[in-house]
Amino acid sequence: MKNRTAMRWLLLAVLFPVMALVACTYQAKDLPVGPEIESAGLAHAGGDDESDGIGGTGLQPEGDGIGGTGMLAEGDGLGGTGIIGPISGFGSIVVNGIHIDYPADMVIGLNGQTASTKELKIGRVVEVHASSATGRLAARRIEVLDAVIGPVEAINRQDGSVRVLGQRVYLDSQTVLFSNLDIQGVLKSLKPGDLLRVSGLHLANGSLVATRMEPADPGVAWFVAGVVRGLDTDGFSIGGLRVKRGAVWPEGLRNGSSARVRGERVDGHFLAQELSLRADVPFNGMVERLVIQGYPRPATHPDALRIGNLQVEMPTDAAIKDTNLRTPLTLQRIQLTARIERNGDIRAERITTIRLAPAAVMGGPLPLGNQPSIPKREIKWNRTPEKSLPKPPVLDSPIRRQRPLPRPSIKRQIRLERPVSVKRPMGLIRH
């Protein structure tokens, strides 16, 4: 009996590992392996002309976590992740360094209206509600957020800005432009009355840094989005545009509200025909994590910051990376990763400076960009009716042509870096 019992235990000891190995092998056949396995029904969209990396630079965004933070999307739970920022690449879409899949026939939002995925272009700012699917993020909802659509009112070639429907719009070397022009080429081609469509991020002072600027379609409704200021019974202001009260006037409108307005110019006033408010907390707090790009502004207390209308608590353990300590944070375009707590508080987990504000805002020289400044062909702009133009449309400052400076040699450059002091001989001084 003892020998038979020992034989049974020995036989079970041999069989258990074999059975476990067979079970693991069987399960592995049914599981997707590797990042190349796509979510069911999802497709990569985009053309070859805008699919070569971040902003057309050829640099591939970090794909091993949310915004290069190393935090995988799998832990988002049912709430998902809310992402706001400019599109920087395709092959899915890439926003804030994050790859997001979406169905090819998905209906998206465009400034509060429905549109197709053809509106997804490099440089356009989007708001994406995404959730995890097989280790990747899949879009539940995408909305394109334009900043202003309307006529050019003034051009300032000195600081690289234009005024569009009352909004001061700055260009920098990362702005996606048209017809392979650089900043000066675009400014030279523009005239008051030309219709523009601008995507971008607002600075703390209400002006705009364009991430994409292009001609607007003829007949498009004029549109502006921004923070409400100077509210009274007659209307309010967004940037430098005074919006006159129309038939629509939503409840809850107040100074500091984030508003979107469609309208037209009537008797010298911009009359609101459609007016809607955006929630102070993006996605109405229905997400667990936020990844947002923008220019912050001061909050109600020093241990917090505001980005848009969103106030974010700054705990001591938040990771702050690559910020410029010599430059005010309000002049730095940051990428913020934050988590929404159960009590509704929003706590920062990571802040990274993407770039500084345009040189003109910082008080430096205007960048010229990398593209040729001479257009290869004449640009035919869509025009707004002359009777609707603000009078008179003038340049903010006169055009001054500067002669090109001779390029110094390397030796001369080294000498110029040293401070030079000139001493006048006493004998040459005349009394």
Residues 6+ apart with CB under 8 A from 354: 293, 332, 333, 334, 335
Q: Which of 306-315, 320-329, 416-425 has the lowest mean pLDDT?
A: 416-425
Q: What distances in angstroms separate CA 41 from CA 30, 37, 102, one per listed residue?
A: 18, 12, 9
Q: What is the pLDDT of residue 400?
A: 47
Give the amino acid at 298: P
- Mean pLDDT over each residue of the chain, to the nearest integer: 74
Give the amino acid at 428: L
Q: Which of 30, 74, 8, 79 is nearest to 288 (CA)?
A: 79
pLDDT level of residue 22 (50, 70, 90 thresholds): very low
pLDDT at position 414 over 60: no
> What is the percentage of the chain residues whose pLDDT exceeds 70?
66
Note the pLDDT tens digit of each residue in 242-257: 999 877 788 889 999 9
Q: Using CA atoms, how far apart are residues 392 and 134, in angstroms rounded to an integer?
A: 58
Q: What distances in angstroms separate CA 171 from CA 153, 163, 394, one per listed residue?
A: 16, 11, 19
Q: Using CA atoms, how far apart are residues 145 and 147, in angstroms rounded to an integer?
A: 7
Radius of gyration of the chain (CA): 28
Residue of higher predicted confidence among 39 and 215: 215
Tokens representing 210 are: 């364009």
Q: Using CA atoms, how far apart are residues 127 and 290, in angstroms rounded to an integer?
A: 11
Q: What is the pLDDT of residue 281?
A: 83
Q: Using CA atoms, how far apart are residues 23 and 225, in angstroms rounded to an integer?
A: 58
Note the pLDDT tens digit of each residue in 2-18: 455 555 554 445 444 44
Q: Is 219 left (phi over 0), alpha (psi -120 to 50) or beta?
A: left
222 touches 264 (CB < 8 A): yes
Q: What is the pLDDT of residue 275?
A: 93
72 touches 102 (CB < 8 A): no
Q: What is the pLDDT of residue 365?
A: 61
Q: Using CA atoms, how far apart are residues 56 and 174, in angstroms rounded to an integer?
A: 10
Q: What distances in angstroms separate CA 158 from CA 105, 171, 391, 399, one per listed residue?
A: 44, 12, 22, 8
Q: Which of 291, 282, 287, 290 is nearest to 97 (CA)?
A: 291
Note the pLDDT tens digit of each residue in 93-124: 999 999 999 998 999 999 989 999 999 999 99
Supply the DSSP symbol for 229. Answer: B
Q: Residue 51 in 3-state DSSP?
A: coil
Note the pLDDT tens digit of each residue in 281-313: 888 878 999 999 999 988 888 889 999 888 899
364 touches 331 (CB < 8 A): no
Q: Using CA atoms, how far apart are residues 340 and 346, in angstroms rounded to an integer?
A: 5
Note the pLDDT tens digit of each residue in 181-192: 889 899 999 999
Kindly state the average pLDDT of the residues 235-247: 91
Q: Using CA atoms, how far apart are residues 55 and 89, in angstroms rounded to an integer?
A: 6
Q: What is the pLDDT of residue 212?
A: 97
Q: Using CA atoms, how far apart are residues 76 and 295, in angstroms rounded to an integer?
A: 25
Q: Which of 210, 267, 282, 207 is nearest to 238 (CA)?
A: 207
> What is the percentage of the chain residues whose pLDDT exceeds 90?
45
Q: Which of 7-21, 203-217, 221-235, 243-257 has the lowest mean pLDDT?
A: 7-21
Q: Which of 255, 298, 263, 274 is nearest to 388 (CA)?
A: 263
